[in-house]
Amino acid sequence: MKSLNSKWGRKNQLELYMTRGGVPHYLKELNPSQSAAQSIDALCFQPDGALHYEFANIYHALFDHVERHITIIEALASKPQGLTRQSIAEATKLPSGGTLTKYLTDLEESGFIQPMPEWGKARKAVVYRLIDEFSYFYLKWMKGKSTQKAGHWLTVRNFPKWRAWSGYAFEGLCHRHVNKLEEALGISGVHTKIAS
């Protein structure tokens, strides 16, 4: 990470993490002669970009009934603050019984989603959040879009939609790394409750 930090600085390093997570395979695809935004542009929005078709590849490699897993991921991406189990069932038209439990468990154990207690609700009330950075980025910015001309990501970063996405993406990073944040803040010994 030192080389990334010296090349792009912390802000741009954070943007790289918010678009692809900390997956080493994705990080090794970075071109050190490009800025962070240029790298995102080339890897994600150009037809020969290494991540242009990655979303489908990931889910097909991991799951059998991939369309159902993706349907849940898409529902969660549309509501970055999270959805209850019942809301997921309604949004996806999947039965709320054991079948949905299996798909949610698959996605949780694979690190794509995270159940979180709802603030101020009963102890067992949880919402599920999409915490996989690349999936959220792909569904927000890449899905259904044709190949873009060079510089697309630099232009997009000026839109309010980008600011909204980056806020939720940053919040997701914080949720995923809450223990490290508590250590860095010197409050790891203090009892805390993390909720959506």
What are the pLDDT digits (tens) for 120-152?
Answer: 676 678 999 999 999 999 999 999 876 677 788
Count CB-CB contacts under 10 A for residue 113: 26
Query: What pLDDT is recorded for position 2?
Result: 46
Query: What pLDDT is recorded for position 196?
Result: 62
Average pLDDT value for residue range 9-31: 80
pTM of structure: 0.85
Residue that the structure tokens 């949004």 belong to: 91
Q: Measured between alpha carbons, how far is 196 from 192 in angstroms, rounded to an integer? A: 13
Query: What pLDDT is recorded for position 147?
Result: 65
* C-alpha torsion 187→133→167→2, nearest 10: 60
**pLDDT at residue 30 tops 90:** no
Q: Tell me which of 1-5, 15-19, 114-118 is least confident.
A: 1-5
Query: What pLDDT is recorded for position 158?
Result: 86
Domains of the chain, residue spans: 2-51+146-185, 57-133
**pLDDT at residue 11 tops 70:** no
Average pLDDT value for residue range 95-120: 90
Average pLDDT value for residue range 104-114: 95
Q: How far is CA 3 from the centre of its chain?
A: 24
Query: What pLDDT is recorded for position 8?
Result: 53
Q: Measured between alpha carbons, how far is 192 from 11 in angstroms, rounded to an integer? A: 27
Instruction: Return the sign of the alpha-carbon dihedral for residues 39, 44, 49, 54.
Output: positive
Instruction: Tell me which DSSP letter residue 72 carries.
Output: H
Query: What pLDDT is recorded for position 57?
Result: 92
What are the pLDDT digits (tens) for 144-177?
Answer: 876 677 788 888 888 899 999 999 899 888 888 8
Domain 57-133, second-level architecture: Orthogonal Bundle (1.10)
Mean pLDDT of the chain: 86
